[in-house]
A = this chain, B = another copy of it.
Amino acid sequence: MKITFLPQNITWEAEPGETILQAAVKAGVSIDGNCAGMGTCGKCRVKVLEGDVSEIRDHHHKLSEADIEAGYRLACCQPVTENMVVEVAEAETTASRKKKLIRLPEDFVPFSAVEKQCIRVSESSLADQRSDEERILEIFGWKGAAFSYDALAKLPQVLKDNPERLVTLTHREGQIIDVEAGDTEKANYGLAVDIGTTTAVVMLWNCSDGSMVDVSAVTNPQGAYGADVISRITFAGEAEGNLKILQQAIIDCINRAIAGFEEEDGINSSNIYQLTVVGNTTMSHVFLGIDPAQLAYAPFAPVFTRGVHTEAGKLGLRSFAEAAVYVASNIAGHVGSDITAGVITTDLMDRDKGHLFIDIGTNGEIVLTGNGRAVACSTAAGPAFEGSSISQGMRAARGAIEKVDIGDDGVKISVIGGCQPVGICGSGIIDAVGELIRTGIVDKSGRLLSREKLEQKGISPAVVRHVRANGKANDFVLYFSEDGKQDVVITQKDVREVQLAKAAISAGITIMMEEIGVTLDSLEKVSIAGAFGSYIRNASAIQIGLLPAVSEDKILSLGNAAGIGASMILLSQRCRQEAEEAATEIEHIELAGRASFQDQYMMAMMF
């Protein structure tokens, strides 16, 4: 059956039994969703324009009668039963916010492993019967250099098509890996890829001068098979071939980004000679098609942590077939190479001063240095700070509330895109909960107080009107829509989610500080990785207890540290070595192995 996705206007041949979501993943169409096709989050709704979907399936209870009447269905629950046309509600929007974040440190010196050189090859004669190989290696002047088999096999045709015998050689570590007719010295590209559980960022660099060409941030299509790493590992283990499906999904995703670069930037993908890939340890395993099963249960031992070298052709990547793929070193089962990459963008590995590095996503990964040691842990923060598991949570896209101010005159919100709000993103949630605590609307135990209680405490009526009873608990309305049907609210449950998430991270930080003897006073620097760090208000993060209570000038937002680090590893062999050393030297602390963790966790639960 054919299914056409609008507005992308992509048509795909779906297989029997496939859901709209599964077809969308294969077709490369991005549809939101957090529950990995469980039908529980209700975020993958699409409007069916053509095709009979009168037989309503399970899980569509997430949709209202009116929605169902209007043709809306959950893409994860609705099988493709005949030729269909569906409208995908939400387009990809994360790219816009990410695009400007890839900037390398000012003192960074690129030193590419791959270089290109254009030479003219002399002709043979009876007096000089040397092989083409020999005369090229002589001009090239590299003692001990040799042709790769593939470059050698290309050579006769390149010389034949090219009466001037002007060729460009691509070399890497003493080996000529490619040969092209004419001068293509400047066409020397590399990709840095940061595979996040939710979003993959693909960065295109010109390795001849270390300049950035383009960047593409796209939804990780594996999301259709599980919102978080554990559910994806579970999916991978459920049936033969599932791991391959996950691997292919991310490979296809990267290939689409590359195809986009070809179209938009006029590059030729066969001139991409190297790729550096970072991601959490599960993403690293899945990208390489290596079974991540062990990462789902204690003791969480990965199959590998060291950097892995392979060839693009083996993975089916759209690039020079023998392009060197380097998957950077992971630190532990749940502290991945994205953290390794992030670490090398900082002075963390000096290890002299107290320095906390924190990357908040579905998991919160923490690295702490000081007193000559470096330790790392991961905490199961849950997806609250990514806007997921929050009733009206969403990604940092158009329509998301990203900032909240509560004053005596009421509630002010800031919405991405300046439009009517439709949900709330991670930074907005932290800000909202921070403000609710600061103003006493949420008490230290995390309870969202009732109107009566707040009136008693003397909170202004302009604020109190935002509190609305919801059964035995209370909601806080951030935005009142005209008809009341599209309000954006923070529920008591949302506050609890934030409370659990911040407690996990906070307890991790406390245990690590104790481990290496860093105190709040000796903590000189807090570096926050991730686009997330650029948007949260530090005061709010400290208010809710997510960050330690240091003075705000010690807090530094790194931007997309994983992406920057991956690019540095791509462009500099020295950075690659630094990353490998960092991954080896950072000691992993397994919180699950610490008796004190549960105590710390319970204590950190209070705001």
- List chain A positions with a Cβ less than 8 A from chain B: 124-134, 146-147, 149-150, 152-153, 155-157, 160, 288-291, 293-294, 298-306, 308-310, 314, 332-333, 588, 590, 592-593
Give the distance in Å from the alpha carbon of A291 to the alpha carbon of B293 in the complex: 47
Measured between beta carbons, the chain B residues less than 8 angstroms from A156 are 290-291, 293-294, 303
Can you list 7 residue pairs at the A/B interface with Cβ under 8 Å?
A131-B306, A132-B304, A147-B308, A152-B288, A152-B308, A153-B290, A156-B294
Not counting A129-B333, A156-B303, a sample of 9 additional A-B residue pairs whose C-beta atoms are within 8 angstroms of each other reads: A128-B299, A131-B303, A132-B304, A134-B304, A149-B310, A152-B303, A153-B288, A155-B290, A156-B291
Measured between beta carbons, the chain B residues less than 8 angstroms from A302 are 131-133
| CB nearest neighbor in B for A594 | B126
- Known A129-B333, A133-B306, A149-B314; judge A124-B301 contact (CB<8 A): yes
Partner of A152, one of B293, B300, B304, B333: B304
- Known A126-B590, A129-B590; judge A155-B303 contact (CB<8 A): yes
Measured between beta carbons, the chain B residues less than 8 angstroms from A308 are 147, 149, 152
| CB nearest neighbor in B for A291 | B156
Give the distance in Å from the alpha carbon of A156 to the alpha carbon of B304 in the complex: 10
Measured between beta carbons, the chain B residues less than 8 angstroms from A593 are 126-127
Chain B nearest CB from A139 CB (Å) reads: 15
Measured between beta carbons, the chain B residues less than 8 angstroms from A152 are 288, 290, 303-304, 308
Does B157 contact A306, Cβ atoms closer than 8 Å? no
| CB nearest neighbor in B for A130 | B301
Give the distance in Å from the alpha carbon of A134 to the alpha carbon of B301 in the complex: 10
Chain B nearest CB from A327 CB (Å) reads: 9
Does A125 contact B303, Cβ atoms closer than 8 Å? no
Measured between beta carbons, the chain B residues less than 8 angstroms from A147 are 304, 306, 308
Measured between beta carbons, the chain B residues less than 8 angstroms from A146 are 306, 309
| CB nearest neighbor in B for A125 | B299
Chain B nearest CB from A441 CB (Å) reads: 41
Does A131 contact B590, Cβ atoms closer than 8 Å? no
Does A306 contact B129, Cβ atoms closer than 8 Å? no
Give the distance in Å from the alpha carbon of A134 to the alpha carbon of B293 in the complex: 17
Chain B nearest CB from A321 CB (Å) reads: 10
The 5 tightest CB contacts between A and B, nearest first, are A124-B301, A149-B310, A156-B291, A133-B304, A126-B593
